[in-house]
């Protein structure tokens, strides 16, 4: 078990309800607008102080490493993209709040390749990064055409290598996400979009903030306060996207135009609505439909009940505390 | 004092060279002397596994697999044939990349050690690329060599080449000048001196290079198999780490470690055969 | 006359951390075709340096060395060298060491092997043909190096204390061998030795060197006829020559010690 | 023939050792001989850049950045200070990891070369881990060492240690037995022989090991900075590759290559100072 | 009597690819405290092997070697050794080489330096104190090795052709030096040489060895008084001894050659 939040820190600056400062280790993806795009505004707006969190921020390049770090007790909270939701869904962490609904996942094909719709994918060499939303959009596309993963020749590559391989004429089809998809479009302009998220309205690729299972039990207070921060930033970023992009770019060194592109394909839900979705079961449904895709791609053996890995109580408490 | 002596005997036997003290009366012939080393190997193996097991149990962490979990994963991999297939794919790549790397490194090292122009032209690049992470080169390799087998082998080749060329180069620089002179006064030209003097005289260095290259080749197999590999131990470990299937990662580590160990022993045998003439400890 | 080796105003200096070492200073020497020169002088007077210059293994700091009328730019198989430190190839057997030079002359295998074995027999190492250098005693290594140099039959033989590690009898045998082939084939020979007796017995001329800086202090003609015999060693003429050479070395050495 | 001679001169100067032929009359002193090498360096540099540029232009795609793009990215990195910060972070890690690795490898190599028990206990593990990809160890390193600076340094340390221990070991085995005997008859014990004979005698090997270790340390920096690094050149390249910002990747490669090159030159200088006694080409 | 070194039924065999080499076969020898033994014999007869056994650098295949009553298990600073191949530490200067053994005796720096310099002067290398071995000539290296062995003042000195690379005068000087200190300090000395004159001049007893397998074939007492002088060399008694030793070596060598 981790040491709990009982540190006798100085009183927070928040005037009306002086709370004890709690410590929290937060991981995030600093090349993602959904990761650094929450952290940077929180820093700029002084929200950690406001909500009394003595925060340690640790940048990562991907989701799975954060889950590893959580299991090793190194971080309490982190952000993962929709492609990694199978990890909490398999019990390795707990979802504490949905983040964005991704609109940026696509299956692309070279103009002369003869691939124009999902059915044409049969027998093709498809570049796809393993264990991410690229794999999921491909699975959905294949499913919609009555095909399975076995009907294509999977070429597993790192996300950036997908672009190298596609632009370098090594593969004709790529299942990839933004902003790398934009790079492909720029380099090979007559590329055809074979499938994209909007083709599958029933399945939303939900990214999420997750907490380690230990943190949820032992540091519930701190995690809840993180959600207070998150709820505030979430609303802020919907209103002030440009500002958030600028802050994020400054904080992480990532190119602003690329972060802006990511923001464009990320659909954010206002915090009130998240609360409502949590309460009426929409959130559970969304994660369950996501799990079905994971079963399809072989990431999971069976669909688990979302209520076992999505904690909606903490978010509710956070919203209550803010109002 | 006694330790040195004992050591000298052991070496003299295992080297095939006869250092002073080789025929110490109290030792009971070849078998008698090799036995303790075998026991030490067993001891260290048991110790290592014990420490690992203890660490895994104490850590009490899903990610630290215990030996039984790993054994289970091994059995699974064997029974569905995937482990052998992956192993075979990697062994091929490593062997080809390693052999090519060393085969190019030895002449390159010689050229660099011997001719000013070669040193001037090659050394900066060798030194430069030696420090460049293979991981960082992968996007470029894909652009120029595609995603097929050649690209993967190239990454391994590069690692093997870059880590052994330096040792060869150094070996050439360290050849005793009197031996070169002896060959020259017997009428040997550059080519003959290369082949007949410099290569044998720098064999101890070349073997260090070769063995380091073998290590580097195996150590790069994961990076190389990031390039669209369908099979391979590196590939297997990559996906295992996606699933946080740590027992399978450990299976991969053990396989690579064992294969590397076996190949290293073969190199060592070759070395002993080829450098038995040395008058060393 | 027909000079085989011309050393013309040669100096050889080494720059060391301790300052300039004048190994040789303005040395000149003409060695004629077919001559047998022995070089004597106290330890460190520059004998090996001189020999290495002739071999083309060192470059003079100033002056020049000519062999057969051409300026020496490097070593060649026309000048066989026996090194003070043997310089056997440790990874080759005695036989293979001797064969090394023959191989470079593209001699056929059987012929090569036979010739190499012949020279090993000559130096009394016939039984050790297949021994590695590390399995040979000091004197055996030296004899192997001698066989290696003889085998290529160079027109000039440059020898740096070749018999230094040999016992008296072997030494005398080797001396006689050497003179025999030298006479038959009219080679040119330069031979460094510390043994005054040996110096006189072998040479047409004994060159006496003195140290710091290395110079030629005296050249002593040996007017004894060839073939030289063991009786000659006992002759008063020989004794006189030996005494002269001894004084030549001695004198400068005394000075040096002073 | 002439080439060997020329080479020997060059070496004799650059080594600080005085091989035969060092004072060839036609050469014009130190500067005269070093000049051509400098020119060769410049030539090879220009050639390399030209080939790159040509390749980039012909390839005509976003993935192969041209020199001007890279220069621009360099300037950008300098002006916002990020490049220096990243460089500093990596340099620290590499230096600490490398120094620790070598500092442990030298005694370990000695122990292994000297004592049977040490060889029996350590060698299997060294050989085993030498071939294990650092990339594959990262999950385990996170489990046992966490995600802080120690974890990153450990990965680099391991790479440096494993690649240099072999050379040291080999160096110890290659020490001329007569030198050891000479020390022993003068009354030296094991410790003294270690320090006063074995270390100096095996310095050429140790330096090969050290230089290989330096290369390995830098080559592992990307892998190590996959462990939640906030700054670092490897980290910078990682994020650049997320956005396919190839000029920045190349900036990273160049920085690592240059730093590695410079550090290698420093090692070389040290080596020349310490092994000037050698009578070699 | 008080035996300093006892060689008791010692054999030393080497297993080689070519078969068993019997370097020494059942050799016994007692060397008394304060004796000066010279070892002579044809090249390859096992002299160096014998010396290395006494030094503790080789282990006998059978039999045993005792020094001062104790079985030899390894080398020690009580027995100084001069190797046939010099074995200088190439990374140390001449002075540092000589200081090496003194440092191990924890001698103070100034004292150590002074003593080392003294011994370098003794062998005529005073000026070359700061030269590296590669900057020394063959004879100079040998003298440096001698100085190094002398400096530690071991009670027993084991010397393998220590004066082989020296010119005649230096050699005679070194012989006289050696005898002088040996007499003063009553050390025990075992000295290998190919020079019969030297063997007789130095020794209390000359041990003649014969090869294949290596055996002691004869032990010749030298009843000349110490200090030995240059005049003694010219005495008929000396000539007679010299001839006996020569025949001793010669005889077996002839046999060997047959
Ligand atoms: N590489 C070198 N650097 C500096 N000095 C050197 C070098 N080689 C030789 N010398 C010096 O040159 C001088 C002559 O050396 P050389 O080897 O020619 O002597 P030598 O007459 O052969 O002596 P010896 O009879 O002892 O072999 C010596 O004083 C030696 O110190
Ligand atoms: N390591 C070895 N392996 C095999 N044979 C060896 C080895 N060392 C020595 N010998 C053999 O032992 C014999 C005696 O050698 P040793 O060196 O004692 O001779 P030596 O009397 O000192 O001769 P020299 O006067 O030539 O130095 C030789 O025949 C030699 O070939
Ligand atoms: Mg000499
Ligand atoms: Mg000997």
The runs of H, that is alpha helices, within chain D are 2-14, 29-59, 67-79, 82-114, 116-130, 134-145, 149-173, 177-185, 190-192, 199-219, 221-224, 233-242, 246-274
Please calculate the CA angle B18-C164-C219 and round it to the nearest 5 degrees. 155
| pLDDT band per the 50, 70, 90 thresholds, residue B264 | confident
Nearest CA-CA distance, residue E228 and chain C, Å:
21
Whether residue D123 is contained in a domain is answered as yes
Q: Are E47 and E54 in contact (CB under 8 A)?
A: no
C118-164: pLDDT as tens digits: 999 988 888 899 888 888 888 899 899 999 988 888 888 999 988 88
Residues whose CB is less than 8 angstroms from the CB of residue A226 and which lie 6 or more positions away in sequence, other chains included: A24, A26, A53, A77, A96, A209, A211
Residues whose CB is less than 8 angstroms from the CB of residue A108 and which lie 6 or more positions away in sequence, other chains included: A166, A173, A174, A175, A176, A181, A184, A185, A191, A192, A193, A194
Distances (CA, A) of C213 to B205, E5, E127: 40, 45, 14
Distances (CA, A) of C218 to C5, C29, C188, C211, E29: 18, 11, 20, 13, 47
Question: What is the Cβ-side half-sphere exposure of residue B201, based on CA atoms within 13 angstroms?
Answer: 26
Structure tokens at D62: 């976003």
Q: What is the pLDDT of residue D35?
A: 54
B196-225: pLDDT as tens digits: 888 888 888 888 889 889 988 988 888 888
Mean pLDDT value of segment C204-209: 92
B17-50: pLDDT as tens digits: 333 333 333 333 333 344 567 777 888 888 888 8
Q: What is the pLDDT of residue C224?
A: 86
Whether residue B225 is contained in a domain is answered as yes
Paired with E3 in beta bridges are: E32
Backbone φ and ψ of C38, nearest 5° = -110, 140
Whether residue D40 is contained in a domain is answered as no
CB distance C23 to ligand 1 below 6 Å: yes
The pLDDT of residue D5 is above 50: no
Which chains, if any, share at least 3 CB pairs under 8 A with chain E?
B, C, D
- Which residue segment(s) compose the domain that D264 sits in? 64-274
- List CB contacts (< 8 A) between E59 and chain B: 5, 20-21, 23-25
User: Helix D116-130 and helix D82-114: axis angle, to 10°?
Assistant: 140
Host H or E run for residue B64: none
Mean pLDDT value of segment B241-267: 85
Mean pLDDT value of segment C92-120: 89
Q: What is the pLDDT of residue B53?
A: 82
Whether residue B218 is contained in a domain is answered as yes
CA quadruple B15, B17, B20, B24: dihedral, nearest 10? 70
Q: What is the pLDDT of residue E98?
A: 92
How high does pLDDT run on average in chain D?
A: 78
- As a whole number of angstroms, the distance between CA E158 and CA E38 comes to 10
The pLDDT of residue D27 is above 50: no
Mean pLDDT value of segment B58-66: 68
E54-99: pLDDT as tens digits: 998 888 999 999 888 888 888 888 888 888 888 899 889 999 999 9
Whether residue D178 is contained in a domain is answered as yes
For a ligand 2 pocket test, name from E10, E13, E23 the mutation site with the most ligand atoms within 8 angstroms of its C-beta.
E23
Whether residue D103 is contained in a domain is answered as yes
Mean pLDDT value of segment C33-38: 90
The pLDDT of residue B277 is above 70: no
Q: Which CATH number fits the domain that encloses residue D198?
A: 1.10.3720.10
Identify which of B137, B146, B142, B150 has the alpha carbon closest to the alpha carbon of residue B96. Answer: B150
Host H or E run for residue E249: helix E236-257
Nearest CA-CA distance, residue C254 and chain D, Å:
30
Nearest CA-CA distance, residue C152 and chain B, Å:
7
Backbone φ and ψ of D136, nearest 5° = -75, -20
Distances (CA, A) of D17 to B117, D279, E2: 21, 7, 51
- As a whole number of angstroms, the distance between CA D102 and CA A121 comes to 53
A101-136: pLDDT as tens digits: 988 899 999 988 888 889 999 888 899 988 788 888
Q: Are A22 and A225 in contact (CB under 8 A)?
A: yes
CA quadruple A281, A285, A287, A289: dihedral, nearest 10? 180
| pLDDT band per the 50, 70, 90 thresholds, residue D21 | very low
Please indicate whether residue C180 or residue A5 has the higher confidence score (pLDDT).
Answer: C180
| pLDDT band per the 50, 70, 90 thresholds, residue E190 | very high
DSSP secondary structure letter of residue A57? E
Ligand nearest to the CA of C193: 1
Distances (CA, A) of C98 to B185, C56, C153, D20: 13, 21, 12, 25
Interface membership of E60 toward B (CB under 8 Å): yes
Percentage of residues in chain B having pLDDT higher than 90: 10
Cβ–Cβ pairs < 8 A, chains B and E: 30
Q: Which of E126, E131, E169, E209 to mutate to test the interface with C (most CBs of C within 10 A)?
A: E169
Q: What is the pLDDT of residue D60?
A: 55
DSSP secondary structure letter of residue C225? P
A254-312: pLDDT as tens digits: 888 888 988 998 999 999 999 999 999 999 999 999 999 888 888 888 999 999 999 99
Least confident of B128-137, D10-19, D218-227, E114-123: D10-19
D40-99: pLDDT as tens digits: 788 888 888 888 888 777 765 666 788 888 898 889 888 888 899 999 999 999 999 999
How high does pLDDT run on average in chain C?
A: 87
Distances (CA, A) of A225 to A77, D128, D249: 11, 47, 38
The pLDDT of residue C223 is above 80: yes
Q: Are A287 and A85 in contact (CB under 8 A)?
A: yes
Whether residue B158 is contained in a domain is answered as yes
DSSP secondary structure letter of residue E152? T
- Which is the closest atom of ligand 2 to the Cα of C136? 31
Please indicate whether residue A227 or residue A166 has the higher confidence score (pLDDT).
Answer: A227
- As a whole number of angstroms, the distance between CA A255 and CA E234 comes to 100
Percentage of residues in chain E having pLDDT higher than 70: 97
ipTM of the shown complex: 0.79
Interface membership of B223 toward D (CB under 8 Å): yes
CB distance E46 to ligand 2 below 6 Å: yes
- As a whole number of angstroms, the distance between CA A213 and CA A221 comes to 14
CB distance C21 to ligand 1 below 6 Å: yes
Q: Residue A270 CB: number of other CB atoms within 10 A?
A: 13
Q: Are B136 and B193 in contact (CB under 8 A)?
A: no
Mean pLDDT value of segment A65-73: 85
B26 by Cβ neighbours in 10 Å (0-12 / 13-18 / 19+) ranks as exposed
Q: Are D160 and D216 in contact (CB under 8 A)?
A: yes
Percentage of residues in chain B having pLDDT higher than 70: 83
Q: What is the pLDDT of residue A15?
A: 45
Give me the number of domains chain B comprises: 1
Mean pLDDT value of segment A219-239: 93
Report yes or no on whether pTM surpasses 0.95: no
The pLDDT of residue C238 is above 80: yes
| pLDDT band per the 50, 70, 90 thresholds, residue B169 | confident
- List CB contacts (< 8 A) between B147 and chain A: 155, 157, 161, 165, 170-171
Q: For D147, which of A69, A167, A180 is closest by C-beta distance?
A: A69
Percentage of residues in chain A having pLDDT higher than 70: 94
DSSP secondary structure letter of residue E228? P
In angstroms, what is the span from residue E225 Cα to ligand 3's centroid? 35
Nearest CA-CA distance, residue E173 and chain C, Å:
11
Coil, strand or helix at E14: strand
Identify which of D186, D216, C79, D142 has the alpha carbon closest to the alpha carbon of residue E101. Answer: D186
CB distance C140 to ligand 2 below 6 Å: yes
Q: What is the pLDDT of residue A303?
A: 92
Q: What is the pLDDT of residue D61?
A: 61
Structure tokens at C42: 């106290």
- As a whole number of angstroms, the distance between CA A63 and CA A103 comes to 18
C132-143: pLDDT as tens digits: 888 888 889 989
> What DSSP string describes D68-132?
HHHHHHHHHHHHTSHHHHHHHHHHHHHHHHHHHHHHHHHHHHHHHHH-HHHHHHHHHHHHHHHTS
The pLDDT of residue B180 is above 60: yes
The pLDDT of residue B3 is above 70: no
For a ligand 2 pocket test, name from E11, E15, E17, E21 the mutation site with the most ligand atoms within 8 angstroms of its C-beta.
E21
- As a whole number of angstroms, the distance between CA B69 and CA A80 comes to 28
Q: For E250, which of C48, C169, C257 is closest by C-beta distance?
A: C169
Whether residue D37 is contained in a domain is answered as no
- As a whole number of angstroms, the distance between CA B234 and CA C149 comes to 57
- As a whole number of angstroms, the distance between CA B42 and CA B32 comes to 16
């Amino acid at each position: 078990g981790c040491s709990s939040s009982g540190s006798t820190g100085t009183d927070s600056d928040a005037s009306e309800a002086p709370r004890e400062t709690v410590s929290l280790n937060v991981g995030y993806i600093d090349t993602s607008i959904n990761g650094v795009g929450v952290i940077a505004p929180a820093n700029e707006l002084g929200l950690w102080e406001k909500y009394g969190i003595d925060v340690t921020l640790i940048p990562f390049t991907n989701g799975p490493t954060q889950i590893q770090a959580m299991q090793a007790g190194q971080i309490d909270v982190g952000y993962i993209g929709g492609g990694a939701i199978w990890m909490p869904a398999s019990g390795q962490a707990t979802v504490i709040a949905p983040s964005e609904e991704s609109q940026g996942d696509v299956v692309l094909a070279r103009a002369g390749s003869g691939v124009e719709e999902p059915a044409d994918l049969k027998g093709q060499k498809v570049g796809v990064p393993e264990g991410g939303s690229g794999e999921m959009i491909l699975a959905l596309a294949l499913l919609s055409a009555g095909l399975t993963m076995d009907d294509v020749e999977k070429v597993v590559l790192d996300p950036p290598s997908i672009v190298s391989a596609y632009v370098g004429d090594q593969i004709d089809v790529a299942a990839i996400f933004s902003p790398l998809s934009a790079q492909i479009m720029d380099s090979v302009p007559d590329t055809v979009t074979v499938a994209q998220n909007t083709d599958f309205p029933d399945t939303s690729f939900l990214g999420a903030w997750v907490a380690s299972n230990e943190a949820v039990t032992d540091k519930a207070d701190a995690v809840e306060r993180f959600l207070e921060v998150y709820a505030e930033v979430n609303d802020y970023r919907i209103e002030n996207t440009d500002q958030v992009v600028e802050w994020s770019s400054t904080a992480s060194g990532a190119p602003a135009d690329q972060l802006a592109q990511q923001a464009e394909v990320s659909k954010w839900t206002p915090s009130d609505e998240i609360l409502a979705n949590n309460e009426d079961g929409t959130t559970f449904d969304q994660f369950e439909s996501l799990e079905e895709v994971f079963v399809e791609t072989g990431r999971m053996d069976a669909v688990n009940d979302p209520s076992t890995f999505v904690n909606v109580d903490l978010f509710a408490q956070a919203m209550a505390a803010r109002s | 004092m006694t330790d040195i002596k004992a050591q000298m005997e052991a070496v003299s036997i295992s080297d095939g060279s006869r250092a002073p003290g080789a025929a110490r009366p109290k030792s009971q012939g070849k078998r008698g002397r090799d036995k303790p080393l075998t026991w030490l190997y067993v001891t260290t193996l048991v110790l290592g596994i014990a420490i690992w097991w203890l660490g895994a149990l104490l850590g009490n962490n899903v990610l630290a697999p215990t030996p039984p979990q790993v054994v289970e994963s091994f059995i699974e991999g064997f029974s569905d044939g995937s482990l052998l297939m992956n192993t075979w794919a990697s062994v091929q790549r490593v062997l080809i990349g390693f052999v090519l790397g060393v085969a190019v490194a030895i002449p390159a090292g010689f050229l660099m050690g011997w001719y000013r122009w070669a040193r001037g032209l090659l050394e900066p690049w060798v030194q430069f690329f030696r420090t460049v992470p293979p991981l960082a080169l992968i996007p470029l390799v894909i652009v120029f060599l595609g995603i097929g087998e050649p690209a993967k082998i190239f990454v391994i080749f590069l690692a093997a080449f870059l880590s052994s060329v330096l040792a060869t180069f150094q070996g050439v620089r360290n050849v005793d000048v009197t031996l070169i002179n002896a060959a020259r006064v017997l009428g040997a030209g550059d080519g003959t001196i290369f082949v007949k003097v410099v290569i044998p005289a720098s064999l101890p260095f070349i073997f260090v290079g070769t063995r380091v290259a073998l290590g580097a080749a195996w150590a790069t197999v994961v990076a190389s198999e990031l390039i669209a590999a369908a099979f391979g131990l590196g590939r297997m470990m990559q996906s295992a780490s996606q699933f946080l299937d740590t027992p399978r990662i450990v299976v991969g580590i053990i396989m690579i470690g064992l294969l590397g160990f076996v190949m290293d022993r073969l190199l060592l045998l070759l070395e002993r055969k080829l450098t038995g003439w040395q008058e060393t400890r | 006359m027909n000079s085989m080796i011309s050393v013309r105003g040669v100096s050889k200096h080494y720059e060391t951390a301790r300052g300039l070492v004048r190994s040789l200073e303005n040395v000149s020497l003409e060695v004629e075709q077919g001559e047998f020169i022995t070089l004597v002088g106290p330890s460190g007077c520059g004998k090996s340096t001189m020999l290495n210059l002739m071999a083309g293994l060192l470059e003079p700091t100033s002056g020049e060395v000519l062999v057969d009328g051409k300026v020496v730019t490097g070593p060649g198989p026309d000048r066989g060298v026996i090194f003070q430190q043997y310089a056997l190839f440790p990874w080759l057997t005695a036989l293979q060491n001797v064969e090394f030079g023959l191989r470079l002359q593209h001699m056929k295998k059987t012929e090569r092997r036979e010739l190499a074995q012949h020279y090993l027999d000559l130096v009394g190492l016939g039984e050790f043909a297949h021994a590695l250098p590390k399995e040979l005693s000091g004197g055996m290594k030296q004899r192997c190096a001698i066989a290696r140099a003889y085998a290529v039959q160079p027109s000039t033989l440059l020898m740096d204390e070749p018999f230094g590690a040999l016992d008296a009898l072997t030494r005398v045998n080797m001396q006689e061998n050497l003179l025999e082939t030298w006479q038959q084939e009219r080679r040119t020979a330069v031979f460094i030795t510390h043994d005054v007796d040996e110096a006189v017995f072998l040479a047409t001329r004994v060159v006496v060197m003195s140290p710091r800086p290395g110079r030629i202090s005296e050249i002593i003609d040996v007017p004894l006829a060839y073939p030289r015999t063991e009786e000659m060693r006992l002759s008063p003429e020989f004794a006189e020559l030996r005494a002269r050479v001894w004084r030549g070395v001695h004198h400068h050495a005394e000075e040096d010690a002073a």
